[in-house]
Amino acid sequence: MLPFKLIYSPDYYLPIGAHVFPAEKYRLIHHRLLETKVADESDFLMPQAASDNDILLVHTPDYVQKLKTGTLSPREEMQLEVPYSPELVGAFWLAAGGSILAAEYALKDQVAVNIGGGFHHAFPDHGEGFCMIHDVAVAIRRLQHKGNIARAMTVDCDVHHGNGTAAIFAAQQSPPAPLPSTSASVLNPGARAHQAFAGDVFTISLHQGNNYPQWKPPSSIDVNLPDGIGDDDYLAWLDNALSSGLRQFEPELICYIAGADPYKEDQLGGLSLTIEGLKRRDNLLFQVAHSKNIPIMVTYAGGYARRVEDTVTIHCNTVIAARDVLQRP
C-alpha cells in the first residue's frame, strides 16, 4: 500500500479518436501500477467532476457557456486541436475534479498523484493544444477560495511552455527582473525571474524554447531550454530554477506538472532525456518538497513517445519516485 493516494477514473479517457495524444494512457498507467504491484486498488480514489462554480473560478462565463452548449466557433475548435463533443467536456470537468481531489489529499498526506490532468495550455477564455480546461489552476483557486491555502507554486516540466498557467496567474506578477548574476550564469539567457514576488501563485516553466507555443506569456521563472539537451543539463537547470523559486516564494502547495514529453523518443518534443533521467527529475522534485515539508500534488500533462509503453513507464516511475522518497528512513 502506498503512503499517498492516486486519483483515477476510467472516464479520464478522452474521446478524441485517432490522435497523437494517447487517450488510452490513463487506463494503461492504472493497469501497469496494479500489475507491477506498485499500487493496489485501495490506493486509488475515484474523483467527481468539478462543479461549474469551480471551473468559473478560472474560466470566463462566456467560454464555459460555449463548452456546455457546444457553441465554440470553428476557429476556437481548431485551436483546441481535439474534436469537441459533450463527452469530451465531461472528461475535462472530471480531470479538474481529480486535480482538486489530488490537491486536497496532498495537504493531508504530503503527496497525491492525479493519474491525469495537467492541461496547462488552457486559458481563461479559450482552450488550445489539446487542453480545454486548466485543471491545475481550478484546483489552486478552489483551495484558495475555501481558505485551505493562500500560496501555491506550479512547477511545469512538460516539454512545452505552460502558457495557460502563466496567463492565468499573470495578473499579480511584478515586472520582470534579471536573476542574480550567480544564477544567471547557470540558467540560460532565456531564464528570468520576478523579484519581490507579489502574487499568490508562483509559476515555474522548464521547457524547450524552440517548440509550441510560439507565444510564451511570462511565467515567474521561465527556463527556455535549447534543443536536444540531456539528463544532466536538464537536472542542473531544474535544480537552479527550483532553488531560485523557493528563495523568492514560500508555497503551501507545489503543483508538479510531470509531462513525459521531454523524453528523447517523444514525437512532439525535441529534448533528449532518458527514462532514467526523467525518474531522477521526479526524484528531485519530491526530495525538495519533502525536505522543505511542502505538500506536492502531481498531474501528468503530455507524453507522445513513439511507443506508448514508454510514456506509461515514465508516468508510472513518477509514482515510484514519490514512494521511494516518502519511504526513505
Q: Please report, as residue ranges, which positions from 47 to 106 form the binding site for Zn ion (by CB under 5 A).
A: none
Rounded to whole angstroms, the Cα distance separating 317 from 323 reads 10
**Beta carbons within 10 angstroms of residue 189's beta carbon:** 8
Q: Specify the residue, 64 or 285, whose C-beta has the smaller distance to Zn ion.
A: 285
Among 302, 314, 316, 325, binds Zn ion (CB under 5 A): 302
Specify the residue for cell string 456546455: 68
Select the span of 50-58, 158-166, 280-288, 317-325 touching Zn ion (CB under 5 A): 158-166
With CB under 5 A as the rule, give the number of residues binding Zn ion. Answer: 5
- Between 110 and 154, name the residue whose CB sits nearer to Zn ion: 154
> Per CB under 5 A, which region of 24-32, 71-79, 192-200, 254-262 contacts Zn ion?
254-262
Query: Measured from the CB of residue 125, what is the shortest distance to Zn ion in angstroms?
Result: 21
Closer to Zn ion by Cβ: residue 9 or 211: 211
Of residues 254 and 268, the one with the C-beta less far from Zn ion: 268
Beta carbon of residue 188, minimum distance to Zn ion (angstroms, whole number)? 20
CB count within 10 Å of CB 65 equals 12
Of 142 and 160, the one with the shorter C-beta distance to Zn ion is 160
Among 89, 14, 12, which Cα is nearest to 45's?
Answer: 12
Does 262 sit near Zn ion (CB under 5 A)? no
Name the one range near Zn ion by CB under 5 A: 86-94, 95-103, 219-227, 253-261: 253-261
Question: In this complex, which beta carbon is closest to Zn ion, that of residue 231 or of residue 266?
Answer: 266
Q: Is 158 an interacting residue with respect to Zn ion (CB under 5 A)?
A: yes
Among residues 24 and 109, whose Cβ is nearest to Zn ion? 24
- CA-based nearest residue to 120, from 81, 76, 91, 154: 154
Residue with the CB atom nearest Zn ion in the bound state: 302
Is 261 a residue that touches Zn ion (CB under 5 A)?
A: yes
Q: Residue 48 Cβ, how far from Zn ion at the closest point, in Å? A: 27
Listed ranges 70-78, 153-161, 249-257, 274-282: which one lies at the site for Zn ion (CB under 5 A): 153-161
Binding site for Zn ion (CB under 5 A): 158, 160, 259, 261, 302
